[in-house]
A and B are shown apart, each in its own frame.
Chain A
Amino acid sequence: MQHRILCSPSYSLLEVALEAGESIVSEAGAMAWMSANMQTKTSTRGGMLAGLKRKMLSGESFFQNTYAPEGGKGLIGLTSGSPGDIVAYELDQGELFLEKGAYLASQEGVKCDTKYDGLKGLLNEGMFVLRCTGTGMMFFNAYGDIAEVDVDGEYIVDNGYAVAWEPSLSWKITKGKKIRSFLFSDQLLCRFSGTGKLWVQSRSPRTMSNWVYQYRPVKNNN
């Protein structure tokens, strides 16, 4: 399997070239184009319960698609719903945590499951994060630019800007140190600690939605 990330970082698209016998798994709806010999298999991957969990708990799609070329090589372009960056990450019997909605695609050797994050998750993007384990390439995406941060000790990310992190990092929700900051600003922060890599996006979909909100039509009650 060969991959290229095109038009990075603003309008990234993942192009995957597959040899006969190879395949790639993606979230439903991520396929932009593909060669005609590509066979699509749609399944819940891991059963009904896994699909439900994925959909209900971690904001990913209920179904996942598996693409495999028939009778030779195949090419496929995968992309996410929002403009932004895509990061390739290789798992070797490893583990990576993804924020809700950040999963784009992976090789078949990578399993995705949801992990309950306790009540601290409720304050963040949701109570569950996506836990990817196994061996193979995986790809995640975000709205905006993605920066890689090498954390050694502690690092703070505003609520909703963390995209992915290695399992060697633990995190908790904190607030601004000064009570005034907490009261008057939305300083709910994620404090990551440990040693490992963290990926941060440069824009927040939620902030963007809040901005669009002011342009919604006003309900007419007549």
Chain B
Amino acid sequence: MQIDVVEKGAFQYALVQLDSGEEFISESAAMFRCSANIDIDVTTKSKGKGGLLGGLKRMVGGENFFFSTYSTNDGRSGEVGIAPTLPGEIKVIDLDGSMKWICTGGSYLASTPGLEVDTKFQGFKGFFTGEAPVFVEVSGEGELLVTAFGRIAEMNVPPGGLTVDTGHVVAYESTLKYEIGKAGSSWIQSFLAGEGLVIHFSGQGKILTQSHNPSGFGKSLGPMLPPR
């Protein structure tokens, strides 16, 4: 299997070459092109965990209810093209089994079959992130594709911690701890600064952030549309 992210511009997509017998998994409806020998199977399962409940939990997490699994059906190799909804970058994360990654706000795009894609309820504080209260947890060995609105920046959380606006988190290593907090020194100041809630990350690990906030963009377009 070979995964290529076509990085020509702002509208990146992934092209995956599958050999006979190999499988690739994405959120459902992410496939936009494929060779004619590709079989698409739609299930609620990734490796191991899954079922109806898994699908429902993923929906709460802002993801799709279903996964699509791709394989070739004629003993030859084939290709699958995967595209997200929003303009932006795609990043491939290598997982070697020692580290889990957490994806927030619908950033999970696709993965190789060695990865387990599970949902993790964030508890009470999850409701205050402004994001979905369920995050997607990815573990195992393989490659994970995440998508973002705009540019993706990867950074190590510095010793003093890192504060990220709730709408700009893409994914992070599960060794990181987070707390919901305010951006300013007081709630009023925080509110006036237009920042509202932020996430304080601490511990050792990597975090991916996105340059643009999807729900911020949505909220700027929404009022211009006729009411539903």
Contact = CB atoms under 8 A, between A and B. Distances in A.
Interface of A: 8-11, 83-85, 144-145, 147, 149, 153-158, 161, 176-178, 180-181, 184-187, 191, 193, 200, 202-204, 207-208, 211-220
A9 B11 contact: yes
Given A202-B13, A202-B83, A207-B85, A157 B32 contact: yes
B29 interface: yes
Given A157-B32, A181-B68, A202 B6 contact: yes
A208 B149 CA distance: 12
A67 B218 CA distance: 37
A184 B42 contact: yes
Q: Lowest 5 CB-CB distances: which A-B pairs, in order?
A: A215-B222, A154-B36, A10-B9, A215-B218, A10-B10
B189 to A, nearest CB: 27
Contacts of B34: 155-156
Interface of B: 6, 8-13, 28-29, 31-36, 38-43, 66, 68, 73, 81, 83, 85-87, 215, 218-219, 221-223, 225-228
Contact of B87 (A180, A193, A203): A203
A145 B6 contact: yes
B221 A212 contact: yes
A216 B8 contact: no
B11 A84 contact: yes
B11 A177 contact: no
A213 B40 CA distance: 28
B228 A218 contact: yes
A8 B8 CA distance: 9
Contacts of B6: 145, 147, 202
Contacts of B33: 147, 149, 155-158, 161, 200
Nearest to A174: B36
B225 A216 contact: yes
Contacts of B12: 145, 202
A191 B225 CA distance: 34
A155 B35 CA distance: 5
A214 B227 CA distance: 10
Given A149-B33, A187-B42, A217-B223, 16 more contacts: A8-B9, A10-B9, A10-B11, A145-B13, A181-B40, A184-B28, A184-B66, A185-B68, A200-B33, A203-B83, A211-B85, A213-B225, A215-B218, A215-B221, A215-B225, A217-B227
Most A-side CB within 10 Å, residue of B10, B28, B34, B219 = B10
A212 B218 contact: yes
A90 to B, nearest CB: 22
Nearest to A190: B33
A53 B219 CA distance: 36
B36 A191 contact: yes
Given A185-B29, A217-B223, A218-B227, A177 B39 contact: yes
A208 B42 contact: no
A211 B39 contact: no
Contacts of B11: 9-10, 83-84, 144-145, 202-203
Given A154-B36, A161-B32, A220 B41 contact: no
A215 B219 contact: yes
Contact of A219 (B43, B68, B85, B227): B227
Given A145-B9, A208-B85, A218-B227, A200 B32 contact: yes
Nearest to B83: A202
Contacts of A184: 28, 42, 66
A184 B218 CA distance: 26
